[in-house]
Amino acid sequence: MSRMEDPEAMDLLETLVCIPSPSGAEREAAVFLTGWMAARGFEAYMDETGNAVGWIGEGPRTFLLLGHLDTVPGEIPVRVENGRLYGRGAVDAKGPLAMAVVAAARVGARPGWRWVVVGAVEEESATSRGAYHLVHTWPRPDMVLILEPSGADAIALGYKGRLLLHVRLEAPGRHTAVPEPNPAERLVELWIALRERARSASEGSRLFEQVTPSLRRLAADGDGLREWAEMTVGFRLPEAWPPERWREAIRPILETMGAAWRTEGEEPAWHAPADTPLVRALLAGIRGEGLRPRFLLKSGTSDMNVVGPAWHCPIAAYGPGDSRLDHTPEEHIDLAEYQTGIRVLARALEEIAEIRVRQEPAF
C-alpha cells in the first residue's frame, strides 16, 4: 500500500506510533489523539485519569470502542519497509486504535447511536487504570469492542485471566560452604513447586483452559548480615481458576516455604458469546471484504477482562495485526491489513447503525 492511497489513515497511525507512550507516560499521545479527533468532528477530551475520549453522534445507544495508548518499554525505530510499519505499539495496540478512530470518523453520526472511542492508559501495567476508571464512572454501554490485534479476518471472544505473585524470603547471612539452601535456592524450589501445581491443575486441557505460569523476575542480594531473594511469578488463568481460587490453591505451598508474599493484577478470564448483534456485524464486515472469518480465544489478557465482568454487554475484540509480534523487537503491522481492518469495522458500524430495537445480550 502506498502512502497516497490513504494518507490520512497512514499519517494518523505513523504519528501515533512515533510518540513514545510507555505505561504511565501516555499524555503526549493522548493530547495528539484528542486533537486529531476534535479536528474531524468528534467531541474529544482527556478524562481525569488521562484516557483519550472522543465520540460522534447523539442518542440513547452507545457503542464503546476501547483501545489503549500505552505500550511496553523498548524503543523500536519507526520506519515503513516492504508495506509494513515498524515501531513499538504498531500492533499492540495503536494500530487497532487508529483503525477504530478512522472508521468511526468515516461512518459519522447515525440516528440513535453514539460511537465512542477511548484510548485508555496503563493497560500494559498491572493496574489497567484507564479501563477501571471507565467501569467506575460510565454507565453500561450497549456494546463494547476491544481494540486488540486479532488479524483482519478474526474475532477474539475470550481472554484468560491473570494473577501476579510477588514473593520475598530472608535469612541470616552465612558462609557459602554451609550446605543449607539460601533464600535464592529456596525460591527456585518454590518456582518448581508452583509450576508443578499449575501443571497438575491443567492436565489434559487445551491451552485456553490451562493455568500457565511464567517466571517474571528473580533477584538475590545481601548486606553481610542478612540475605534475601525476591521473585515475581505471573499466572494466566482459565475460567475454571478465577484469581481467588488459584490464590487459595497455592497458599499452602507459600505458607510451607514461610515466604512473605502478596498478589496484584488479579483479573478473571472472560469468554463472550458469539451470538450477539456485535459479532454478527463484525462477521458481515469481514465477509464483505471477501475474507473467511475465524474465532479466537486468547491466552493473554486485555481490558476485556476488566469491563466484561463489570458490564455484561455484547463484547468482542478485533483489530489488524499479528499478536505474536506483541512486545517483540520486530513489532510491526502490515499496512494493507490495517486498511482492511478499517473497512471491516466501517462495514460493521453501518450494520450496527441499522439496529433499531434494543436487543438485550444473551448472558
Q: Is 112 left (phi over 0), alpha (psi -120 to 50) or beta?
A: left
pLDDT of residue 22: 97
Domain(s) of CATH 3.30.70.360: residues in the chain = 161-267
For 354, the grid coordinates are 441499522
The number of angstroms, rounded, from the C-alpha of 270 to the middle of its chain's C-alpha atoms is 12
> What are the residue numbers of the active site?
70, 123
CATH 3.40.630.10 residue ranges of the chain are 3-159+269-353
pLDDT per residue as tens digits for the range 88-110 = 999 999 999 999 999 999 999 99
Q: What share of the chain is helix, strand, coil (3-state, %, to 5)?
A: 35, 25, 35
Q: Which residues contact residue 2 at a Cβ distance below 8 angstroms, ignoring those fewer than 6 apart? A: none
Over its length of 363 residues, how does the chain's per-residue pLDDT go in tens digits? 444 468 999 999 999 999 999 999 999 999 999 999 999 999 999 999 999 999 999 989 999 999 999 999 999 999 999 999 999 999 999 999 999 999 999 999 999 999 999 999 999 998 999 999 999 999 999 999 999 999 999 999 999 999 999 999 999 877 666 678 899 999 999 999 999 999 999 988 898 999 999 999 999 999 888 999 999 999 999 999 999 999 999 999 999 988 899 999 999 999 999 999 999 999 999 999 999 999 999 999 999 999 999 999 999 999 999 999 999 999 999 999 999 999 999 999 999 999 864 444 444
Q: Considering the domain 3-159+269-353, what is its CATH architecture?
A: 3-Layer(aba) Sandwich (3.40)
**Segment 177-235, tens digit of pLDDT:** 667 889 999 999 999 999 999 999 998 889 899 999 999 999 999 988 899 999 999 99
Measured distance CA(236)–CA(32) in Å, rounded:
34
| Residues 6 or more apart in contact with residue 263 via CB below 8 angstroms | 163, 164, 165, 166, 243, 247
The answer to whether the beta carbons of residues 348 and 289 sit under 8 Å apart is no
pTM: 0.92
**CA angle at residue 177 from 174 to 183, to 5 degrees?**
50
Tell me which DSSP letter residue 121 carries. S
Residue closest to 234 by CA, chosen among 214, 253, 264, 219: 214
CATH number (3.40.50.1170, 3.40.605.10, 3.40.50.300, 3.30.70.360) of 161-267 reads 3.30.70.360
Distance, CA of 124 to CA of 38 (rounded, Å):
26
Return d(Cα 13, Cα 84) in angstroms, integer.
12
Rg of the chain over all Cα atoms, to the nearest angstrom: 22
